[in-house]
Amino acid sequence: MKSLFKGRIASIGYACNGIKKFVVQEANAKIHLVATTILCGAIIYFNIRGIELMALIIVTGFVWVAEAFNTAVEAIMDFISPQYHSRVGLIKDISAGAVLMAVFTALITAAIVFFPKLF
């Protein structure tokens, strides 16, 4: 039982290391960090609570997860095929498109929450 917990603790450490590398090394993660910081400020300023807060947390997490998976897919594709290949390009474009869909979903959600408070 003790080794089971030891393994889980190590896994959490590896995951935290991956998050740290992702945020430090990836330009798009830094952009998402700035956007998330601005969003947190707006949540505090407008005193967002309840279902609206939950929706903003979910779509923000959705963007972060999509970007992390996109980064992983791109790294795998670059490892598998360092030279340009049209099929690899398609895979990377679709992965990047998934991030864009997540961002649009988050922007629409933020507009629904914040626009009534602005006007």
Over the stretch 26-59, which tens digit does the pLDDT of each residue have? 999 999 999 999 999 999 999 999 999 999 999 9
Total-model pTM: 0.91
Task: State how far the alpha carbon of 113 is from the alpha carbons of 18, 38, 49, 56, 63, in Å.
Answer: 32, 15, 10, 8, 17
Tell me the three state secondary structure of residue 21: helix
Percentage of residues of the chain with pLDDT beyond 70 = 98
The CATH number assigned to the domain with range 27-118 reads 1.10.287.3610
Distinct helix (H) and strand (E) counts, the chain: 4, 0
Cβ count within 10 A of residue 18: 13
Instruction: Give me the residues of the chain with pLDDT under 70, please.
Output: 1-2
Q: What is the pLDDT of residue 1?
A: 62
Please calculate the CA angle 63-95-23 and round it to the nearest 5 degrees.
45
CB 102 within 8 A of CB 62: yes
Q: What is the pLDDT of residue 4?
A: 74
Q: What is the pLDDT of residue 5?
A: 80
